[in-house]
């Protein structure tokens, strides 16, 4: 800062700091009571400037004119004058020895200073607003250097440590989250928390807790039970130049001498890393506090004593008498003096105990005390004054009686709300970790909730799905609960405890009549949505403690770091490039953007995540500090971070402190001191399309190319137009499906393209398109013609199943049993669909001595029945006119997706001979039941004795079958795909090769999905689990599997990591092998490149909007056939079932499949590029 003259001429220079302190002006506090913030230096340019004060070595009060017109016109000094005059700060000044530098000491006035508190509260809003603005500009210039404070020479050479830090804090929200400290059990914690932290057994818990789990549970107990206030997270600790500690709020510019304390929240967010046992932590929390009952909800205008039915009706205690009178209950003649047993019944029911009285259930059941204790449910009366005002209006007539009380039962139970897909998972985890004496109620969709008093007293845990929870939220007419008649049930014989059988109001959910001790929401990040139904209903429930359980609190906070250290260089996706011989593609190597030192700006994505976090804290958890002032989180936490110029000073510190108050999570390095997960190896397996799959892929690319050229890459007819995002997504999904296997009964419009070929050429020449565009058009027409003229390819497209190569099958039997036009093609190669091969094999197993002629007749009859069924299905019509040409080649993508869905449904609904009705009704939960294997000698005389099944036309399917045959005897395998049709193809292949599997897909009922998970984890029979990615990537515990295969690359890395975490988690003892199947030189390889390129970004954009992927898709590339050795996968058709029937036993083998242990079958060609290693796969022929 520079001035043309010294400002000391505006006031009395002789008033030193000591004189100021001794001054009798009571308007200003003493300097020693203020926060010594630091020093401002101002260069004075006028020559010969001197101070007229008598003592040039002393500091004097900065002269400030009372009248604004007499103040210096310099903005800084004007602002300081305003701040001094309005009691924001005090300042002293001094010229250095040269007279060229003016030093100004700045003292901030604490708001809790007794001498100024009253005056600070009287400042108007305009003064406060202006004061904050001037304070921000002034404090940004204040240096905290002690040497500068003491005016030590040379003045301008000291390094500045500013009061408002200028050091850039460019941490993202995810990095702040990762930097949170691990929870520490305070030395003055409540006794129960100390017992858990020290490892004392938890009642009802069977499993052992790791030390980090004990710490987390202990801190959770401390948060729930400790009545002590906590430091306000909105204030940061600052140190004065004199070494004193103060507390500063950067948004309001408020300074305090004492630590500001706020009421603690009784709950928080348990956000430990994925796979670290959050479920068992919650169970330990619940069981360790099982004997505690909640206190009545606090009220400022109403007294709410804890009552019991016995005390309410028969005790003469003051609170009981007052409650009866207010509720309008008439006097009773059976009050009397309570007996000792009655006093004990009342005390046990209405007070939290050291241990649950359920532990003594067996002893009490032999007496008559047990039913009395169960029926004496504690409660309180809730009078809703706001509801009464809504019903009767603000001026209620005196004749109108007061609205009756709502009876609220105090429950020691914990209500747990989980996603529907995880309901069975929680059931299994409870059975695994808890003793049978723990009372659990798993609320299924069809279950009817019992009365409120039963919910409140009969269970320790009540688990329901979020779907059921939302359904209960519809029945929320609370006013009906205030109109319920008081209980008049008779008492137990020989006792004064009422035997209540009141049914309650069936039109109101009983959840609203219980004061819950605790609510736990699993995968609770959904509560961050402002419009979430769960938030609205939770506000109406009466809950003492609330917990959110999630590994991903917001979309950029991902608990995926534990166990990320992997084996081998195959896991490094950087540097992946095209190394194959598919010559028409050339994907450039991406280079991540350089990171400069400029400040990071928090954008809309960060703002959305802050809003979600604020909603969880303010609305769901209802942390008192933020719940009472709902705008405080946005004003004091979010807004300072999302300023256009970058985060304000201390803004990231404030966010970190707020997170630390509500979140419980361990740092990865602390977790790894207790647990070490097995190593994980991730391989990217590159492969090429087979001949006929490649023709289908090129046909789809031809449609895209012709659409781009004919529409001139603009207008609504262009499939990549900005208004056609849905069509673009359909195109990408269709291409992705084609890289596994797809078939089109409209032949991808190649016939129509060929018919209009000359028109396309003519329009292109007329518009004089560039040479490269014309070459692309010619390539598209050429590939479309190649597919259209291939009779076998046309025949393959007539059915959705993947064809398998078959050898040794009699021509007549082949023609009778194969489908459609496959039988009319040349006999160069025999192709049959997998389900037809299974049908044929099952038929021979059932009748091993059938003659070839009868077998032919059965095949003809089967084809005829299928043809009749297909005729009954509605046929699809398409536009074939010239005017619809461009539209049809773009609409083909949407139609193919719908066709795929229809085919997948048809594949699931079709049933082969030998498949039981139960397996069909269960939604194809598992591979079909196997018929009894006939005598091997009879099979040797069968017409199929020499038939062998070879590889399919899907390269990916062949690889999966090879992996299944090689490893399923010793390891279980998870197979993920985003496409149900892909999983259907895999299922058919596994059925053909005799490998048992289970499915977990969206079309299955939730109960069947639960059964599938339980069966896979507990049974050695089923070795593969086919999982739809969007359904199974969260929450499941599948540690019995040690291999994971992704049928296609996953665009979002966090989704991929969460899917891997289903197996790579606590409880896993085996090394994890993960493989992602990628077709070389296609969008799949480009996806991996772009994913690595975007890895520095917090938010992964949609694949349809990401510039690199759009560029790749907008410029279609055709693949050339790669000559490789024929696949070796082969098995005898009629004896492969033997290995399938005994799979899972100790003597399991793959004797019926010729894979030579599959070591020579898969040739891996490793190439190094930088630090990455690629694997190329070919199948070698076994001659």
Cα 434 from chain centre: 27
Residue 35 φ then ψ, to 5°? -80, 115
Cα 62 from chain centre: 57
DSSP secondary structure code for residue 589 in this structure: P
User: pTM for the full model?
Assistant: 0.80
Cα 1133 from chain centre: 45
Residue 566 φ then ψ, to 5°? -120, 165
- Predicted confidence at residue 73, as pLDDT, reads 64
Cα 873 from chain centre: 41
Cα 38 from chain centre: 46
Cα 313 from chain centre: 50
As a whole number of angstroms, the longest Cα–Cα distance in the chain is: 128
Sign of torsion, CA 352 356 361 364? Answer: negative
Using DSSP, state whether 735 is helix, strand or coil.
Answer: helix
DSSP secondary structure code for residue 16 in this structure: B
- Predicted confidence at residue 349, as pLDDT, reads 85
CB 1068 within 8 A of CB 1044: no
Using DSSP, state whether 439 is helix, strand or coil.
Answer: coil
CB 736 within 8 A of CB 1083: yes
| CA–CA gap between residue 900 and residue 737 (Å, rounded) | 9
Query: Helix-strand-coil percent breakdown of the chain, rounded to 5?
Result: 40, 15, 45
DSSP characters over 667-712: -HHHHTTT--PPPEEEEEEEE---HHHHHHHHHHHHHHHHHHHHTT
**Helix residue spans in 922-979 (DSSP H):** 936-940, 955-967
| CA–CA gap between residue 387 and residue 854 (Å, rounded) | 80
- Who's near 165: CB < 8 A, 6+ residues apart? 649, 650
Q: State how far the alpha carbon of 377 is from the alpha carbons of 411, 459, 630, in Å.
A: 9, 13, 36
| CA–CA gap between residue 413 and residue 291 (Å, rounded) | 9
| CA–CA gap between residue 235 and residue 650 (Å, rounded) | 9
Task: Write the burial class of residue 703 (CB in 10 Å: 0-12 exposed, 13-18 middle, 19+ buried).
Answer: buried
- Who's near 726: CB < 8 A, 6+ residues apart? 894
- Predicted confidence at residue 899, as pLDDT, reads 47
- Who's near 33: CB < 8 A, 6+ residues apart? 110, 113, 115
User: Cβ of 767: how many Cβ atoms within 10 Å?
Assistant: 11
Sign of torsion, CA 304 309 311 315? Answer: positive
Nearest to 844 by CA among 1140, 1151, 1137: 1137
Encode 583-594: b = buried (16+ Cβ within 10 Å), e = exposed: eebebeebeeee
Residue 2 φ then ψ, to 5°? -125, 140
Using DSSP, state whether 434 is helix, strand or coil.
Answer: strand
| CA–CA gap between residue 784 and residue 11 (Å, rounded) | 93
| CA–CA gap between residue 801 and residue 790 (Å, rounded) | 19
Kindly state the tokens that stand for 39. Answer: 């020093």
Kindly state the tokens that stand for 495. Answer: 């006792």
Length of the chain: 1183
CB 578 within 8 A of CB 585: yes
DSSP secondary structure code for residue 636 in this structure: I
- Predicted confidence at residue 15, as pLDDT, reads 52
| CA–CA gap between residue 663 and residue 618 (Å, rounded) | 14
Nearest to 294 by CA among 354, 232, 213, 350: 350
Q: State how far the alpha carbon of 1063 is from the alpha carbons of 282, 1034, 1067, in Å.
A: 21, 11, 9
| CA–CA gap between residue 925 and residue 1019 (Å, rounded) | 14
pLDDT tens, 899-933? 444 544 544 444 333 343 334 334 445 554 455 55
- Who's near 803: CB < 8 A, 6+ residues apart? 796, 822, 831, 832, 833, 952, 953
- Who's near 813: CB < 8 A, 6+ residues apart? 852, 855, 856, 859, 943, 944
- Predicted confidence at residue 597, as pLDDT, reads 54
| CA–CA gap between residue 1016 and residue 998 (Å, rounded) | 7
- Predicted confidence at residue 519, as pLDDT, reads 96
| CA–CA gap between residue 700 and residue 797 (Å, rounded) | 13
- Predicted confidence at residue 912, as pLDDT, reads 38
**Helix residue spans in 916-1005 (DSSP H):** 917-921, 936-940, 955-967, 980-992
Q: What is the dihedral of CA 514, 520, 521, 523, to 10 degrees?
A: -170
Intervals of the chain under pLDDT 70:
1-27, 45-57, 64-73, 153-160, 330-335, 353-359, 361-362, 385-402, 526-532, 556-597, 823-828, 873-937, 1033, 1098, 1124-1127, 1135-1183
Using DSSP, state whether 521 is helix, strand or coil.
Answer: strand
């Amino acid at each position: 800062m520079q001035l043309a003259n010294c400002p000391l001429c505006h006031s009395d220079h002789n008033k030193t700091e000591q004189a100021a302190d001794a001054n009798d002006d009571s308007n200003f506090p003493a300097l020693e009571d203020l926060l010594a913030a630091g020093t401002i230096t101002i260069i004075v340019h006028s020559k010969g400037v001197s101070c007229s004060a008598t003592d040039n070595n002393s500091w004097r009060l900065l002269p400030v004119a009372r009248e604004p017109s007499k103040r210096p016109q310099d903005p800084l000094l004007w602002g300081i004058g305003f701040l001094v005059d309005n009691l924001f700060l005090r300042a002293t000044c001094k010229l250095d020895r040269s007279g060229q530098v003016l030093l100004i000491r700045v003292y901030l006035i604490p708001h809790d200073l007794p001498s100024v508190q009253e005056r600070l509260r009287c400042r108007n809003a305009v003064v406060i607003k202006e004061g904050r603005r001037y304070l921000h500009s002034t404090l940004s210039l204040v240096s905290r250097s002690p040497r500068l404070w003491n005016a030590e020479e040379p003045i301008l050479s000291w390094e500045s440590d500013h009061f408002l830090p200028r050091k850039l804090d460019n941490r993202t929200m995810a990095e702040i989250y990762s930097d949170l400290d691990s929870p520490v059990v305070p030395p003055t914690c409540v006794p129960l928390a100390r017992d858990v932290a020290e490892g004392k057994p938890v009642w009802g818990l069977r499993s052992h807790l790791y030390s980090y789990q004990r710490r987390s549970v202990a801190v959770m107990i401390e948060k729930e039970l400790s009545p002590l206030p906590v430091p306000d997270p909105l204030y940061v600790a600052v140190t004065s130049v004199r070494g004193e500690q103060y507390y500063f709020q950067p948004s309001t510019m408020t300074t305090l001498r004492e630590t500001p304390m706020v009421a603690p929240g009784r709950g928080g967010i348990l956000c430990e890393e994925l796979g670290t046992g959050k479920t068992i932590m919650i169970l330990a929390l619940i069981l360790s506090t099982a004997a505690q009952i909640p206190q009545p909800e606090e009220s400022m205008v109403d007294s709410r004593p804890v009552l019991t039915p016995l005390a309410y009706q028969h005790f003469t205690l003051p609170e009981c008498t007052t409650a009866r009178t207010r509720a309008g209950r008439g006097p009773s003649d059976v009050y009397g003096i309570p007996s000792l047993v009655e006093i004990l019944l009342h005390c046990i029911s209405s007070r939290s105990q050291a241990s649950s009285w359920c532990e003594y259930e067996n002893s009490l059941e032999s007496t008559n005390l047990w039913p009395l204790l169960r029926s004496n449910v504690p409660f309180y009366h809730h009078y809703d004054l706001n509801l009464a005002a809504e019903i009767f209006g603000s001026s209620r007539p005196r004749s109108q009686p007061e609205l009756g009380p709502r009876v609220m039962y105090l429950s020691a139970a914990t209500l747990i709300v989980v996603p529907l897909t995880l309901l069975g998972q929680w059931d299994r985890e409870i059975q695994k970790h808890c003793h049978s004496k723990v009372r659990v109620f798993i609320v299924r969709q069809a279950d009817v909730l019992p009365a409120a008093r039963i919910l409140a007293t009969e269970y320790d845990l009540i688990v329901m799905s979020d779907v059921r929870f939302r359904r209960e939220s519809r029945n929320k007419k609370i006013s009906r609960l205030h109109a319920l008649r008081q209980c008049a049930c008779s008492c137990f014989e020989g006792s004064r405890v009422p035997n209540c059988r009141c049914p309650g109001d069936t039109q109101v959910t009983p959840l609203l009549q219980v004061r819950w001790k605790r609510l736990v929401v699993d995968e609770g990040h959904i509560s961050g949505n402002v419009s979430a139904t769960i938030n609205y209903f939770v506000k109406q429930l009466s809950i003492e403690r609330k917990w959110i359980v999630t590994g991903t609190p917001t979309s950029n906070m991902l608990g995926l770091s534990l166990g990320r250290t992997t084996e081998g260089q195959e896991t490094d996706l950087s540097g992946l490039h095209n190394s194959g011989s598919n010559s028409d593609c050339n994907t450039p190597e991406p280079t991540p953007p350089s990171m400069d030192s400029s400040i990071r700006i928090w954008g809309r994505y960060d703002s959305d995540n802050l809003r979600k976090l604020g909603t969880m804290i303010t609305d769901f958890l209802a942390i008192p500090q933020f719940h009472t002032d709902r705008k405080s989180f946005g004003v004091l936490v979010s807004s300072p971070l999302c300023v256009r110029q970058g985060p304000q000073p201390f803004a990231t510190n404030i966010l970190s402190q707020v997170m630390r108050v509500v979140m419980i999570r361990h740092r990865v390095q602390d977790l790894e001191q207790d647990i070490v997960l097995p190593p994980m190896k991730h391989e990217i397996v590159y492969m090429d399309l087979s001949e006929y799959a490649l023709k289908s892929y090129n046909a789809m690319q031809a449609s895209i190319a012709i659409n781009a050229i004919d529409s001139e890459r603009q207008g609504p007819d262009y499939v990549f137009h900005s208004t056609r995002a849905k069509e673009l997504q359909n195109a990408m999904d269709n291409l992705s499906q084609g890289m596994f296997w797809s078939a089109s009964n409209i032949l991808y419009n190649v016939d129509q393209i060929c018919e209009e070929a000359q028109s396309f050429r003519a329009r292109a020449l007329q518009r004089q398109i560039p040479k490269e565009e014309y070459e692309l058009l010619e390539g598209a027409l050429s590939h479309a013609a190649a597919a259209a003229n291939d009779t076998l390819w046309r025949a393959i497209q007539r059915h959705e199943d993947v064809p398998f190569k078959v050898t040794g099958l009699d021509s007549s039997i082949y023609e009778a049993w194969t489908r459609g036009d496959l039988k009319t093609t040349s006999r160069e190669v025999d192709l049959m669909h997998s389900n037809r091969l299974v049908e044929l094999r099952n038929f021979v197993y059932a009748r091993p001595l059938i003659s070839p002629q009868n077998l032919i007749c059965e095949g003809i009859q089967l084809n005829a029945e299928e043809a009749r069924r297909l005729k009954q299905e509605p046929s699809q019509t398409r536009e074939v006119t010239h005017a619809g040409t461009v539209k049809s080649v773009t609409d083909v993508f949407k139609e193919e997706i719908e066709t795929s869905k229809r085919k997948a449904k048809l594949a699931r609904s079709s049933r082969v001979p030998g498949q039981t009705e139960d397996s069909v009704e269960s939604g194809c939960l598992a591979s079909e039941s196997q018929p009894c294997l006939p005598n091997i000698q009879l099979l040797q005389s069968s017409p199929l004795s020499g038939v062998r099944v070879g590889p399919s036309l899907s390269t990916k399917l062949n690889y999966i079958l090879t992996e299944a045959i090689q490893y399923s005897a010793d390891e279980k395998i998870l197979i993920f795909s985003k496409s149900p049709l892909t999983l259907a193809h895999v299922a058919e292949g596994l059925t053909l090769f005799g490998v048992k599997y289970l499915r977990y897909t969206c079309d299955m009922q939730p109960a069947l999905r639960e059964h599938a998970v339980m069966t896979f984890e507990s049974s050695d029979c089923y070795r593969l689990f086919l999982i739809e990615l969007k359904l199974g990537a969260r929450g499941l515990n599948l540690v019995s599997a040690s291999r994971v295969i992704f049928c296609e690359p996953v665009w979002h890395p966090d989704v991929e990591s969460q899917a891997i975490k289903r197996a790579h988690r606590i409880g896993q003892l085996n090394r994890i092998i993960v493989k992602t199947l990628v077709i070389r030189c296609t969008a799949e390889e480009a996806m991996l490149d772009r994913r690595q390129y975007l890895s520095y970004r917090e938010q992964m954009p949609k694949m349809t909007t990401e510039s690199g992927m759009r560029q790749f898709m907008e410029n279609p590339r055709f693949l050339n056939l790669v000559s490789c050795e024929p696949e070796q996968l082969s098995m005898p058709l009629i004896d492969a079932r033997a290995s399938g029937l005994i799979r899972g036993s100790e003597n399991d083998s793959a004797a019926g499949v010729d894979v030579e242990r599959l070591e020579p079958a898969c040739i891996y060609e490793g190439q190094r590029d930088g630090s990455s290693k690629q694997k190329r796969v070919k199948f070698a022929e076994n001659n």
